[in-house]
Amino acid sequence: MTRFVTFASLGRRTLPNQWDIIALSLIFGAFVLIVHGSRGMLVPLPAPSANAIDLSYLQLPYYALRTTLRMFAAMTASIIFTLTYATIAAKSRRAEMVLIPLLDVLQSVPILGFLSFTVTFFLGLFPGSLLGAECAAIFAIFTSQAWNMAFSFYQSLRTVPRDLSEVVDGFRLSGWQRFWQLETPFAVPGLIWNAMMSMSGGWFFVVASEAISVGDTTIKLPGIGSYLAVAIDQRRVDCVLMAVLAVLVVIVLYDQLVFRPIVAFADKFKVELSASEKGDTPWVLRLYQRTSWLKRATDPVRDAFDWFTSLRIDLPAWGSSRPASRTVSRLIDIVWFALVGLLAAYSVYEVATFVGAALTWHDLIVAMGLTLVTMLRVVVLLALATLFWVPIGVWVGLRPNLAEKVQPLAQFLAAFPANVLFPIAVIGILSFRLNPDIWLSFLIIFGTQWYIVFNVIAGASAYPNDLKEAAANFRITGWSWWRKVILPGIFPYYVTGALTASGGSWNAAIVAEYVKWGDDKVAAHGIGAYIAQATDAGDFPRIVLGVAVMSVFVIMFNRLLWRPLFGFAERRLRIN
C-alpha cells in the first residue's frame, strides 16, 4: 500500500495539474500569435500587401498584433541599451561627460529625423524584403522608449544608498556581483515604471514610425499607426474611434499579462526596514504559483540566472583614480577631451557646411527665434503639469492598491495617440478662429506629462515605509510633511521624469505644432512646426538646421536647469 501511494504521489508530481494546462495554453497561444505576426515581416518589399491598408474593422486585430510585436521588440532593445549605456555613463566620469549630453540630444531629435537617416541603412541590410522597413520602424519606436529608461537607470545607479554600498563592500562582492545583486535590484522599481511609460510613449509616435518614406515611395507597414494615419487622411471618424478602442484593448491585455506581474515582483526590491502595505497579487502570478510542472520547468532558468549573477568578475573601477596614477589620469583626461572636442568641432563644421550652402544667417536667426518660442511653451507647460500632477502622483503612489488600479488607465492615457485629437484641434481652431499658438500647445504636454506622473508614482511607491512611520510618529503633517518628508523622497524620481518630459516635449512639438485633418492644416509658431513643414517640403537643409538649433537649446536647457537639480538630488536627497 505504501509503495502504491508513493508511485501515485510521484505520478501527481510529474503530471501537469489543471493550472499548468491553463498557463501552457496561454504560453502556446502567445507563441502562435508571435509566429503569425512575424511571418508578415518577411514578405517581399514590392508586395501589394506591403502598402495596402484596409480600413475594415476585421483587420484591426491583425494590425494590433503587428504593432504590438514591434513595440515589444523595441522594448527588448531598449532594455539592453539601458543596462549598457546607462551603466557606463554612471560608472565612468569621462564617459558620463559625453554620454549624458549625447542622451540629451538623442531624446530631442524628432523621430522624423531618425527615420530620414536610418531607412536607407535598414533597407540596404535586407534588400528586397519588408524586414528592412520593419527594422526601421522598430528603431524609430526604440528612439521613443530608450532615452527615458536610460535616464531612470542612470539616476538609480547614482543614488544607491551609502549604507547598502557599505554592506556590499563588507561582503567583498565583486563588481559584477555588486551590479546584479545591489545596483540593479535597487533600480528595478523605477525602471519598471519608466518601462511602462516608454511603452506608452511608443504608442504616442506609432503613426510616424509605421509610415516609412523612401524618396517618392511611402511604405505603410500593417499596424494600428498606419490604420490611424489612413483613417485621418480619409476623414473616417468611425475608424479613428475603432483604432483607439483597439489600442485600449491591447494596453489592457499586456498590462494584465506582462506589466502587472512585473510590478508586483519588483515590489520586493523596495528599500525599507518595516513591512508596507501590499497590493493584491496579480492573477497571472497566482496562476503561476499554483502550477506544478511549469514551476519545475522554470527552475533551471532561475538557477542559471543565479549562477550568472554570482560570478566573481572584477569589473574595472571606473571613475576612481589613485594618488599614484593622478598624473597619468590627468594626461588621459587631456587626450580624451581633446578627441571629443575635435569630433564635436568636425560635426559642427559638417553641419555648417551643409546648411550654409543653401541658407543664410537670416535663416539661423529665424530658427533660433522659433526655438525660443517653443522653449517658453515647454517651460510653461511643464510648470503647469508639475503643479497639477505631483500631488496626485504622490497620493496614488502611497496607496499600492489604488496604484494597481490606476496603472492601466495611466498607461492608456499616456499611449493615447495625439493624432486622434487633431480633428478636434483643427476643426475647433478654424471654426472659432482660435489662436493656434495657445490651443495647439496643449497637444505637446498631452503625451509627455505622463513621464512626470509615472516617475512620481514610482518614487512614492518606492518610499521606505519606515520613514513614513517615523514621520507619523513625530506627527509631521501638512506642508511640513510635504517639504521635509515626501518631496525630498520623490525629488530624484521627479527630476528624472521632468528631464525626460522636457526632452519628449521638444520632440512632441514636431507633431503638435503642425497638425492636419484631411486637407486642412493648422500651424503654431515654433521650431516644431518649422521642422515639420520642412519635412513635408523635403527641405533637408532646413530640417538639419532646425534639428541642430533645437539640440543646442536642449543641451543648454538641461545643463543650466535639470543637471544642477539632478546633482542636488544626488548629493543631498538620496536615502542613506
Triad 278, 283, 286: Cα angle to 5°: 80
Distance CA 243, CA 60 (A): 7
- In sequence order, the 6+-apart residues with CB closer than 8 A to the CB of 268 are none
Q: What is the mean pLDDT of the chain?
A: 81
The stretch 62-89 carries a mean pLDDT of 92
Average pLDDT of the segment spanning 357-386: 93
Please, which residues have CB within 8 angstroms of residue 496's CB and are 6 or more apart in sequence?
151, 152, 155, 190, 194, 455, 566
Whether residue 545 has pLDDT greater than 80: yes
pLDDT at 10: 46
Residue 110's pLDDT is 65
Q: What is the arithmetic mean of pLDDT over 320-328?
A: 57
Query: Where are the chain's structural domains?
Result: 20-317+359-572
pLDDT single digits (tens) 262-303: 888 877 777 655 555 555 678 888 888 888 888 888 888 888
For the cut 70, the answer to whether the pLDDT of residue 141 exceeds it is: yes
Q: Is the pLDDT of residue 415 over 70?
A: no
* Mean pLDDT value of segment 473-488: 88
pLDDT of residue 419: 61
Q: Are 174 and 249 in contact (CB under 8 A)?
A: no
Other Cβ atoms closer than 10 A to 171: 10
Q: How confident is residue 518, by pLDDT bands cut at 50, 70 and 90?
A: low
pLDDT score of 198 more than 60: yes
Residue 12 has pLDDT above 60, yes or no: no
DSSP-derived secondary structure letter, 129: B
- pTM as predicted: 0.77
What is the pLDDT, as a whole number, of residue 85? 92
Q: What is the rounded average pLDDT of the residues 327-342?
A: 79
Q: What is the mean pLDDT of residues 69-75?
A: 93
2 — pLDDT class (breaks 50, 70, 90): very low
pLDDT in tens, 224-243: 888 888 887 787 888 888 98
Please say if the pLDDT value at position 47 is more than 60.
no
Read off the pLDDT of residues 77-128 as tens digits, 9 standing for 90 and up.
999 999 999 999 888 877 887 888 788 777 766 666 666 667 777 877 888 7
What residues contact 305, with CB distance under 8 A and at least 6 apart?
none
Nearest Cα neighbor of 114 from 100, 135, 88 is 135
Measured between alpha carbons, how far is 107 from 500 in angstroms, rounded to an integer? 8
> What pLDDT shows up at residue 4?
46
Q: Which comes out higher in pLDDT, residue 273 or 162?
A: 162
Instruction: Please report the pLDDT score of residue 279 as a whole number.
Output: 58
Rounded Cα gap, residues 316 and 322, in angstroms = 13
